[in-house]
Amino acid sequence: MLISRVSLHEEMVSRLRALITDGALRPGSRIDERALCERFGVSRTPLREALKVLASEGLVELLPHRGARVTRLSGRELRDAFEIVAALEALAGELACRNITDDEIERIAGHHARMEEHYRRRELTEYFACNQAIHEAINRAAGNAQLTEMYALVSNRVRRARYMANHSPERWANAMREHEEILDALRRRDGARCGSLLRAHLEHKLYTVEHEIDTE
């Protein structure tokens, strides 16, 4: 096992990003530099460097001379972000159809099968894990590192919202059907169709999110 010798600021970026995307740090809440320094046992320098990076990722907002706080997306911003995610994922699906191997497809099919099982048992958390695994696998299969990076960037911003969708049974059933079609398009290497399916899938998810979540 390789000992992790990442720098403190890099480590802080990862930790803080996880805290934010997992919801431990709530949107709109202030970020207390001193408290975080003590919590992680680092000085302010690496922490502040990390905050600058997270600000450029859009996860936190820096208020001049008034500290930082976790970004809170308005309904409009959430919608805007989803539009981007949808476009990026459509591109990923399209590219994936050009490059994906049978092995990769079968791995995705495996995720899909497990997801279906969790769907039948109404196991939301496990369902989401499989769901995310599929979307990540498609992105990787696209073979465009920068795309993966961009996708993660915008996706992180709406992560909590995505996980709150899929509450209504009809929508959930639709999502499963859509996933089946996506998998099918992948198998047939039909890039155009795969892309448009993914885009529609994300847009439906946005619709769900907007109609099932009023405020966080």
Under the binding rule (CB under 8 A), the answer on residue 5 touching a copy of itself is yes
DSSP H or E run through 68: strand 67-70
- What 3-state DSSP class applies to 63? strand
C-alpha triplet 169, 204, 111: angle, nearest 5°: 70
144 binds, among DNA, a copy of itself, none (CB under 5 to 8 A by kind): a copy of itself
Counting contacts by CB under 8 A, is residue 14 touching a copy of itself? Answer: no
Closer CB to DNA, residue 37 or residue 200?
37
- Residue 59 is a binding residue for a copy of itself (CB under 8 A): no
> What does DSSP assign to residue 174?
H
> Would you say 80 or 210 has its CB closer to a copy of itself?
80
Stretch that binds DNA, among 4-12, 20-28, 108-116, 141-149 (CB under 7 A): 4-12
Q: Which does 87 bind (CB under 5 to 8 A by kind): DNA, a copy of itself, none?
A: a copy of itself
39 contacts DNA (rule: CB under 7 A): no
* Euclidean distance between CA atoms 53 and 68, whole angstroms: 12
What lies within 8 Å, CB to CB, of 201 at 6+ separation is 89, 175, 178, 179, 182
Q: Is 56 left (phi over 0), alpha (psi -120 to 50) or beta?
A: alpha
Cα–Cα distance list, 147 to 54, 98, 138, 204, 206 (Å): 19, 15, 11, 22, 21
Positions in 120-179 near a copy of itself (CB under 8 A)? 144-147, 149-150, 153-154, 157
Neighbours of 81 (CB within 10 A): 20
Residue of the chain from 58, 67, 110, 143 that contacts DNA (CB under 7 A): 67
66 binds, among a copy of itself, DNA, none (CB under 5 to 8 A by kind): DNA
Q: Which of 8, 19, 42, 87 binds a copy of itself (CB under 8 A)?
A: 87
Task: Identify which range of 46-54, 125-133, 146-154, 185-193 contacts DNA by CB under 7 A.
Answer: 46-54
